[in-house]
Structure 1
């Protein structure tokens, strides 16, 4: 797998967020490619975009200290298990690779859900992100099904338009950040939903950039469901976790 990375402009490596085995396999592939000479920028969903300045400052202050960087560029309520992501940060520091804060913050996403894209992005910014036109019908259908499954069919349907806009904004922001570093090659570390070709970040790249020769989307998955949404699949053992929908009240 790692031998395919350097030939691409955009490499998107997914994850099941709490699956440590999958993250180890992804780290191994990324490390092999870097050790072989690949020098991409590393964009991470786990850092909110407004923390880029904190990342850059931490690197100047302690260039090799991944734990310090994480502490400076995140908060106590980040929600991420940083023990899983610290090795990726360490790899970026070891090889002096650009480390990019790629995510739309939860606060901004909440503003969009409540009040629309204009609460976060000016009209010009929406145009630059390709968010100035209605979402395509197929994207709405696929994302609606994904959101419905992710919330056990139990979320207020009145919130759906805002949730769709917020999800699109996340993916569009990640795509924009990746495009800014396409000249050297860039890898995205993000959840499997974000790296899917049909509904994720690749959907928001420029049309010329979506070509198979330029993009590689790899899902690190516990099942083969939605396998056609990725260029490649890496099956990983499923984590033994409680059924998140066991106590959900399904709304008809």
Structure 2
């Protein structure tokens, strides 16, 4: 991969030009691209999508040629995604083949066009709803083969801090309306998603890879970074959040704070679970 001095200088200047929109407590100073770059998002925040795309574009323009893994595509559709990438010249064509519900696809067109233009492999990185439902019912290990279960020690209890933090985020994200019996299964589904993403990112080596996913998935305390180096060999990993409020220290290697989007309160009129 091209990491010549001129390219690095261009990248350094580009990153410096974005300094006004980042969280100063977590500056982005890395010039050499990591083996795994995790780029978060607030799914419906267009400003965050634009900033993230500009920064990824600058890296690619400077010579980096990673694969791009996307939460927006379910992993079992990889063969169809490969065919669409071979047959299509632009994101509009690829999305006619691939786009499903639940995502604002216009936000992802620039990244898909970038992948097609520079022939960067697209990787389907998410757990399908059907697989997630099985995990809710049967546990995290149910979606993996025996080798993966052994590597990630999935027959043992999940790390307590991951379970506790995932549970807190899931309950808050559902307006404190979930019944207690639903929460463990939903935690298992989120953990299974993170492990699948980590597994698929590792599978791209020796090629570098970028993950496009929600901020929760790229958090260092309980997300994909925790699972990426749960097995050997260890990889160089960098996590960047694109957030609407400055995060707690240490959740990401760097973060950029973007203006929040005005939304109706999703919990308005609902009575929280006591």
TM-score (norm 1): 0.91
Contact 2:39 2:241 (8 Å CA) reproduced: yes
* Structure 1 residues 118 and 38: CA distance shift in structure 2, 3 A: closer
Q: Distance in 2 between matches of 1:5 and 1:240?
A: 34
Any conservation in 2 of the 1:15–1:219 contact (CA below 8 Å)? yes
Shift of 1:61: 2.1
SS at 2:217's partner residue?
Answer: helix
Q: Which residue of 1, 4, 13 corresponds with 2:39?
A: 13
**Match for 2:239 among 200, 206, 217?**
217
Q: Please, which moves more after superposition, 217-226 or 115-124?
A: 115-124
Partners of 2:94 and 2:44 in 1: how far apart?
A: 22
1:94 equivalent in structure 2: 117
Q: Is the 8 A contact 2:73 2:125 kept in 1?
A: yes
Show the 5 A alignment for 1:1-252.
1=15, 4=30, 6-62=32-88, 64-75=89-100, 78-117=101-140, 119-207=142-230, 214-252=236-274
Deviation at 1:18, TM superposition (A): 0.2
Partner Cα separation in structure 2 for residue 140 and residue 120 of structure 1: 18
TM-superposed deviation, 1:59: 2.0
Take 2:92 and 2:31, find their aligned partners in 1: how far apart are those partners? Answer: 27
Question: Matched residue of 2:182: which SS?
Answer: helix
* Aligned residues of 2:143 and 2:192 also touching (Cα < 8 A): no
Instruction: Return the alpha-carbon distance in structure 2 between the equivalents of residues 13 and 69 of structure 1.
Output: 22
User: Once the 2 structures are TM-superposed, how far is the Cα of residue 73 of structure 1 from its aligned partner?
Assistant: 2.1
- 2:12 maps to none
Count of residues in correspondence between the two structures: 247
Q: CA deviation digits over 1:187-227, x for unaligned, max 9? A: 1000000000111001111246667xx11110000001334
Secondary structure (helix, strand or coil) at the match of 1:47 reads strand
If each structure's helix is expressed as a fraction of its own residues, which one has the higher value? 1
- What's the CA shift for 1:90? 0.5
> Which structure 1 residue ranges, 5 or more long, are not aligned?
none
Aligned partners of 2:99 and 2:105 also within 8 Å: no
Q: CA RMSD in A?
A: 1.9
- Rg (Cα) greater in structure: 2
The answer on whether the counterparts of 1:221 and 1:236 sit within 8 Å (CA) in structure 2 is yes
The 3-state SS of whatever aligns with 1:83 is: helix
